[in-house]
Structure 1
């Protein structure tokens, strides 16, 4: 894994962790979470996170 790939993966995982907290606190619903997840995968193109 290159440094660039690592950064993308890290950024994706941090962002998805925030989204998971938001869903647990009922700040967003499942549909919104799914949309956010899709956007994050498109943005960061994670090596492992998008599997």
Structure 2
């Protein structure tokens, strides 16, 4: 894994964690969470993140 790939993976996971917290706190719906996940997958293109989808 290159440094760039690592940074993309890290950024994806941090962003997803924030969205998950928002979901747990009732700030967004499950459907919004799924949309956010797709958007950040497309933006950051993480190597391992695609396996978690």
TM (norm. structure 2) is 0.94
Deviation of the 1:49 alpha carbon: 1.2
What is the alpha-carbon root mean square deviation over aligned residues? 0.4
Per the TM alignment, residue 40 of structure 1 is displaced from its structure 2 partner at its CA by 0.4
1:20 Cα deviation (Å)? 0.3
Structure 1 residues not aligned, in runs of 5+: none
Hey, what does 2:4 align to over in structure 1?
4
* Rounded Cα–Cα distance in structure 2 between residues aligned with 1:19 and 1:50: 17
Name the CA distance, whole Å, in 2 between partners of 1:15 and 1:38: 12
Query: Which runs of at least 4 in structure 1 moved beyond 6 Å after TM superposition?
Result: none
Specify the alignment match of 1:17 in structure 2.
Answer: 17
In the alignment, structure 2 segments of 5+ residues that lack a partner are none
Count of equivalent residues: 51
TM-score by length of 1: 0.97
